[in-house]
């Protein structure tokens, strides 16, 4: 039985992680930290029956040796120091923040508008998009868990990019449930503001998550240099992301070739759900699961060999888009069955 420490467990990803660990046959909770609720227990701040004590983060550093893995669910920017201190103890670290997701300091500066305070650490973190970087994840000690939006986009377009079939300009229209914004109390996320509403934000080439799309898709493609237009929308649901992607493929590539490509690329993947022709992925295909559902639709039914496609990819942003994929990363890194605790 492995033990997990969870730093920052009172946000939505933290408590989701605790619930996933409760179902995991080989992993159990060691300790849980919370700055704002230290001294209380988890059942005081979430509607769960588990009375784990919430300790402050500084106590956790001394207790690193009690656990086999530390999951960092800290706010962006707070993970860097925590990752340094935990990794120095030799414990495995899986960081759910954005602090180590980009490949280098330039990209970080471009997307986060600040200097990374430990840029030398960036190359030591594996980007934990399991289906694409599984080999690097095996045995890894430092893993950066991917962002929620990029997981749908990268999994949805990876086969095309890898094959060199992905057109240069990619338009992604994404819709995310409100839990993606975290458990902070901002006006925009109040029930009355978000309910019966739909709010586009940071449309175009503005959202930080584009950095992860560029990293992955440019990285796996022979032609690279993709141009992204990415428009996220705040959706009045609690959980789930749906990305509608408008792409082109080279003349001569047929729908059937594309379907074969996806089927081969994801053959045997336990968490990829490829939809048959005629069906389109919905949130419902993936909420409360660790799956990513992907559908492929040619834009114009009257032009069977047309070059324009609509790829839709969905996930549960708190599971495959965060805590579930973190568990999947742990399973791979520790050499367990990759699906353990994720059914």
| Backbone torsions φ then ψ of 311, nearest 5 degrees | -100, 125
For residue 133, the minimal CB distance to a copy of itself (Å) is 23
CB nearer to a copy of itself: give 12 or 133.
Answer: 12
- 302 near a copy of itself, judged by CB under 8 A: yes
> Tokens 């520790």 appear where?
334
CA distance 110 to 126: 20
The residue within the footprint of a copy of itself, chosen from 116, 215, 291, 320 (CB under 8 A), is: 291
DSSP, residue by residue, 148-172: HHHHHHHHHHHHHHHHT---SEEEE
How many CB atoms sit inside 10 A of residue 336's CB? Answer: 18
Query: Which parts of 175-194 interact with a copy of itself (CB under 8 A)?
Result: 175, 177-179, 183, 185-187, 189-194
User: Is residue 225 close enough to count as binding a copy of itself by CB under 8 A?
Assistant: no
Can you tell me which of 118, 121, 171, 253 binds a copy of itself, judged by CB under 8 A? 171
Taking CB under 8 A as the criterion, the residue among 88, 104, 123, 203 binding a copy of itself is: 203
User: How near is the Cβ of 289 to a copy of itself at its closest, in Å?
Assistant: 9
Question: For this structure, is 148 an active site residue?
Answer: yes
Q: Is 287 in the site for a copy of itself (CB under 8 A)?
A: yes
Q: Is 273 in the site for a copy of itself (CB under 8 A)?
A: yes
What is the DSSP pairing of strand 54-55 with strand 27-33? Answer: parallel
Catalytic residue among 73, 130, 148, 292: 148
Q: Cα–Cα distance between 230 and 227 in angstroms, integer?
A: 10
**Residue-wise over 186-213: b if at least 16 C-beta within 10 A, else e?**
eeebeeeebeeeeeeeeeeeebbbbbbb
The encoded tokens of residue 219 equal 């990285």
Taking the C-alpha atoms of residue 200 and residue 78, their distance in angstroms, rounded to an integer, is: 27
Window contacting a copy of itself (CB under 8 A); options: 83-91, 128-136, 289-297, 321-329: 289-297
- Using rule CB under 8 A, residue 297 touches a copy of itself: yes
C-beta closer to a copy of itself: residue 88 or 299: 299
Q: Regarding beta strands 169-176 and 126-127, do their DSSP bridges make them parallel or antiparallel, or are they unpaired?
A: unpaired
What number of chain residues touch a copy of itself (CB under 8 A)? 66
Rule CB under 8 A: which of 52-111 touch a copy of itself? Answer: none
Q: Judging by beta carbons within 10 Å of its beta carbon (0-12, 13-18, 19+), is residue 316 exposed, middle or buried?
A: buried
User: What's the Cα-to-Cα distance from 19 to each of 96, 239, 335, rounded to whole Å?
Assistant: 16, 15, 21
Binding site for a copy of itself (CB under 8 A): 12, 22-23, 47-49, 171, 173, 175, 177-179, 183, 185-187, 189-201, 203-206, 229, 231, 233, 235-240, 242, 244, 246, 273, 280-285, 287-288, 291, 293, 297-302, 308, 310, 312, 343
Catalytic residues: 148
């Amino acid at each position: 039985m492995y033990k997990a420490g969870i730093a920052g467990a009172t946000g939505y990803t933290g408590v989701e992680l605790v619930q996933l660990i409760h179902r995991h046959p080989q992993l159990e909770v060691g300790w849980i930290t919370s700055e704002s609720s230290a001294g209380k227990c988890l059942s005081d701040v979430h509607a769960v029956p588990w009375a784990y004590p919430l300790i402050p983060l500084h106590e956790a550093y001394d207790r690193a040796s009690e656990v086999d893995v530390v999951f960092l669910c800290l706010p962006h920017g707070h993970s860097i120091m925590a990752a340094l201190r935990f990794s120095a103890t030799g414990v495995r670290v899986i960081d759910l923040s954005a602090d180590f997701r980009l490949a280098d300091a330039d990209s970080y500066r471009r997307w986060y508008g600040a200097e990374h305070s430990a840029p030398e650490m960036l190359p030591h973190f594996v980007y934990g998009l399991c289906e694409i970087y599984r080999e690097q994840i095996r045995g890894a000690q430092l893993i950066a868990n991917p962002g929620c939006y990029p997981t749908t986009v990268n999994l949805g377009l990876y086969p095309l990019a890898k094959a060199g079939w992905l057109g240069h300009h990619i338009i992604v229209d994404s819709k995310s449930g409100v839990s993606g914004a975290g458990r902070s109390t901002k006006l925009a996320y109040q029930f009355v503001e978000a309910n019966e509403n739909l709010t586009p934000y940071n449309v175009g080439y503005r959202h930080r998550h584009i950095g992860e799309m560029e990293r992955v898709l440019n990285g796996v493609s022979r032609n690279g240099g993709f141009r992204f237009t990415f428009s996220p929308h705040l959706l009045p649901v609690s959980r789930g992301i749906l990305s509608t992607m408008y792409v082109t493929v080279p003349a001569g590539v047929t729908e059937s070739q594309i379907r074969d490509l996806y089927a081969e690329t994801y053959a045997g993947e336990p968490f990829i759900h490829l939809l048959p022709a005629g069906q389109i992925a919905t949130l419902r295909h993936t909420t409360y699961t660790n799956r990513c559902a992907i559908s492929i639709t040619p834009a114009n039914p009257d032009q069977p060999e047309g070059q324009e496609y609509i790829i839709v990819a969905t996930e549960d942003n708190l599971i495959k888009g965060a805590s579930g994929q973190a568990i999947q990363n742990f399973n791979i890194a520790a050499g367990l069955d990759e699906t353990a605790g994720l059914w």
